[in-house]
Structure 1
Amino acid sequence: MVGRSVVAIRRGVMVLAMAAGGVAALFGAAPAFAAGDGQSIARTNACMGCHAVDRRLVGPSFNDIAAKYKGDKLAQAKLEKKVRDGGAGVWGAIPMPSHPAMSASDIHDVVAWILAGSPSK
């Protein structure tokens, strides 16, 4: 009887997970981020020293980045690699430094925030 209860509970958890977040919730995909998370991560990791949401500083604006990669299904992965490893030549002569101290989760969230249009709320 106890074994059946455990199975029933597991099934119930799966059903709730599917209802709450779909397949991604079951398989550990990254949860949706709150808009403030990406902005906070960008500020904490000094991204705002070179980038602004709506205007070019040392590097392109986040809005320009989102526009350039709009519709590119590989944009998330490309930009995560660029943040982690650095790069040059796409936006001009000034290279973007690597950010090896940023966690993969923070990189993912800040890139998702940028590609979503850098919402403030």
Structure 2
Amino acid sequence: MGVSYAFVMLKLCVGYGLNMIPVREAIYHVAKVDTKTIIWWKHGLIVSFMATLSLFGGLFLPRVNTALGLVGGFSGGFISYIFPALMYMYSGNWTLQKVGWFHFLMTYILLICGVVGVVFGTISTIYGEFTA
């Protein structure tokens, strides 16, 4: 039993790093900060702020089902529906004449279904939290 707890802790620590490194890089990209030349104490402040937000999120979400529902509804919809449609659209030469009616229509349907899935998945998780 203790071995399984140790591996769950290892998984949580590795998962935190795997999730927060891309988030940090995205924040740096939006703020137009070069990750190789940022001063160490500014980097430390940003990472500490993100870790504090994660800690407060973990403390104030009373059940793990709420966190899993929010993460699943949000990231699942983005990864499986929204991002593929947007990548196909922004890959270049995205016109009705180039791709044809079928691909054009199906890509927009995929994008709209993804947005609807993210919205309703998030709403149902929040609604379930308040009615439980």
TM-score bracket, normalised by the shorter chain, equals under 0.3
Which structure features the higher share of helix residues?
A: 2
Q: TM-score, normalised by structure 2?
A: 0.22
Q: TM-score, normalised by structure 1?
A: 0.23
